[in-house]
């Protein structure tokens, strides 16, 4: 019997089509629910879709539910999947109302609300930063007095470093609370600042068991990278995942999956390691952003999108990971805001490392620059792979020092 899968928003962002492709490839009959007119879908994407329903807002639960119930009148829907952070709660609530298997509302909530997430994980014995979620300035001030500065202030359901502020003293805490509307009917998450190295641990889990896993390192931390123009930040996934030094992190990742009730899903977990030991930071019950899965595919000679589809549709993995390469990205910032004027040093980079370059993006001269805080792929970037992690780090550092993006 052909499984019927509804996929929320197959068009945007651009790599959403890869999930549709993979679902179709493993034998699913895929219905897309998205915001763009069907006529705007390219022929390849339309060929992978059995049916398409257009709505005006894929985060509007009522619209999603109407579209899902319409599809349910035609076929038995086996799965409803969403892989973008902003879409997962609408999908979970509609899934529950319509009787479709998948990640529960409670699990989705725990993977989005930072204070509730950490409360659940501390109860399960998983080390986390001390934190509070509150709409009371007095309560947050008392937390700050008890924990001390610096503190991190962020939206309760933020993804990554989005909207995150650091408060180094009482004045900056007041400014952060004002910016988040605390005391004006809005709540924020406030956390102990954890000093140390930052990275992420990504998985595909089936029935609550991790079947594929990846460990990736940030250089430097995200908060520093997203606020400092001269830094060319990197993140690098290692092929040394079975090394003894990672055993604690891998065990913690499985404990998180179990504690939050995650069954069959991709996950993206952030962690810190420093003077206070290994600390869990946060989790998304969806794949990582910034096209990180492309790095995992290149490093492991695998179609990870297909592996995700196999988990969702068939409930089993189908490909082994080679662990042949480490792979990474270096983001290259324009030297000022304005428009791209030109590039320097890329000929030397290609001369030295051409065989190790996966791909690159160099916006054409005249393209408006994007703010530093817009992320790793907002301006120019280059991705590479190499069998030796340390050699790859050295290569990426050379690119960061040599390749220049000029703007004016």
- Mind listing the pLDDT tens digit for each residue in 382-398? 999 999 999 999 999 99
Across 73-88, average pLDDT: 97
CA angle, 9 then 266 then 53, to 5°: 15
Mean pLDDT for the chain overall: 95
Would you state the pLDDT for residue 165? 87
The strand pairing partners of 199, in sequence order, are 217, 271
Nearest Cα neighbor of 48 from 75, 86, 93, 10 is 10
pLDDT exceeds 70 at position 143: yes
The strand pairing partners of 197, in sequence order, are 273
Would you state the pLDDT for residue 1? 84
pLDDT exceeds 90 at position 114: no
> 165-188, pLDDT tens digit by residue?
889 999 999 998 998 898 888 888
pLDDT exceeds 60 at position 161: no
Would you state the pLDDT for residue 125? 96
pLDDT exceeds 60 at position 160: no
> 288-346, pLDDT tens digit by residue?
999 999 999 999 999 999 999 999 999 999 999 999 999 999 999 999 999 999 999 99
Across 83-96, average pLDDT: 97
Instruction: State the Cα–Cα distance between residues 181 and 156, nearest whole angstrom.
Output: 12
> 15-28, pLDDT tens digit by residue?
999 999 999 999 99
Domains of the chain: 4-102 (3.40.50.20), 130-192 (3.30.1490.20), 195-324 (3.30.470.20), 326-408 (3.30.470.20)
Would you state the pLDDT for residue 145? 92
What percentage of residues in the chain have a pLDDT greater than 70?
Answer: 99
Residue 34, classed as helix, strand or coil, is strand
Query: Where does the pLDDT of residue 159 fall: very low under 50, low under 70, confident under 90, or very high at 90 and above?
Result: low
Instruction: State the Cα–Cα distance between residues 177 and 237, nearest whole angstrom.
Output: 35
Would you state the pLDDT for residue 7? 98
pLDDT exceeds 90 at position 200: yes
3-state secondary structure 327-363: EEEEEECECCCCEEEEEECHHHHHHHHHHHEEEEECC
Instruction: State the Cα–Cα distance between residues 100 and 85, nearest whole angstrom.
Output: 19
Would you state the pLDDT for residue 19? 98
Query: Where does the pLDDT of residue 162 fall: very low under 50, low under 70, confident under 90, or very high at 90 and above?
Result: low
**Is the CB of residue 87 less than 8 Å from the CB of residue 289?**
no
**Is the CB of residue 202 less than 8 Å from the CB of residue 213?**
yes
**Is the CB of residue 173 less than 8 Å from the CB of residue 151?**
yes
- Residues whose CB is less than 8 angstroms from the CB of residue 271 and which lie 6 or more positions away in sequence, other chains included: 198, 199, 200, 201, 249, 252, 278, 279, 280, 281
Would you state the pLDDT for residue 158? 62
> 201-219, pLDDT tens digit by residue?
999 999 999 999 999 999 9
Instruction: State the Cα–Cα distance between residues 210 and 250, nearest whole angstrom.
Output: 9
**Is the CB of residue 42 less than 8 Å from the CB of residue 73?**
no
Query: Where does the pLDDT of residue 154 fall: very low under 50, low under 70, confident under 90, or very high at 90 and above?
Result: confident
> 233-269, pLDDT tens digit by residue?
999 999 999 999 999 999 999 999 999 999 999 999 9
Highest mean pLDDT among 55-59, 112-116, 171-175: 55-59
- Cβ burial, residue 40 (10 Å; 0-12/13-18/19+): exposed
Strand pairing of 29-34 and 4-8?
A: parallel
Instruction: State the Cα–Cα distance between residues 168 and 391, nearest whole angstrom.
Output: 37
DSSP at 251: H
């Amino acid at each position: 019997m052909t499984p019927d899968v509804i996929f929320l928003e197959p068009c945007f962002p651009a790599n959403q089509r890869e999930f549709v492709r993979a679902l179709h490839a493993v034998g699913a009959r895929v219905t897309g629910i998205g915001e763009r007119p069907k006529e705007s879908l390219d022929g390849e994407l339309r060929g992978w879709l059995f049916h398409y329903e257009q709505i005006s807002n894929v985060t509007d639960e009522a619209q999603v539910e109407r579209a899902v119930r319409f599809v349910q009148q035609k076929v038995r829907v086996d799965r409803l999947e969403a892989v973008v952070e902003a879409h997962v709660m609408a999908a979970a609530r509609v899934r529950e109302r319509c009787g479709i298997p998948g990640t529960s509302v409670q699990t989705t909530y725990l993977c989005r609300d930072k204070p509730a997430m950490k409360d659940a994980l501390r109860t399960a014995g998983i080390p986390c930063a001390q934190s509070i979620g509150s709409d009371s300035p007095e309560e947050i001030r008392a937390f700050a007095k008890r924990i001390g500065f610096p503190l991190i202030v962020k939206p309760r359901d933020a993804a990554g470093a989005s909207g995150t502020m650091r408060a180094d003293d009482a004045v900056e805490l007041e400014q952060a609370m004002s910016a988040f509307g605390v005391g004006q009917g809005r709540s924020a998450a406030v956390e102990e600042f954890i000093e140390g190295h930052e990275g992420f641990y990504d998985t595909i889990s089936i029935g609550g068991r991790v079947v594929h896993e990846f460990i990736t390192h940030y250089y430097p931390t995200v908060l520093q990278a997203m606020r400092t123009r001269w830094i060319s930040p990197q993140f690098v996934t290692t092929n040394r995942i079975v090394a003894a030094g990672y055993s604690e992190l891998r065990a913690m990742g499985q404990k998180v999956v179990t504690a939050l009730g995650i069954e069959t899903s991709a996950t993206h977990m952030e962690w810190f390691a420093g003077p206070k030991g290994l600390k869990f930071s946060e989790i998304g019950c969806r794949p990582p952003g910034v096209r990180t899965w492309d790095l995992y595919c290149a490093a492991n000679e695998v179609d990870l999108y297909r592996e995700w589809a196999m988990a969702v549709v068939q409930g089993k993995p189908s490909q082994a990971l080679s662990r042949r390469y480490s792979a990474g990205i270096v983001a290259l910032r324009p030297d000022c805001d304005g428009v791209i004027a030109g590039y320097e040093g890329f000929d030397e980079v290609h001369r030295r490392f051409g065989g190790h370059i996966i791909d690159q993006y160099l916006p054409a001269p005249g393209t408006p620059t994007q703010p530093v805080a817009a992320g790793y792929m907002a301006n120019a970037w280059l991705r590479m792979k190499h069998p030796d992690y340390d050699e790859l780090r050295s290569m990426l550092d050379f690119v960061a020092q040599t390749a220049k993006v000029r703007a004016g």
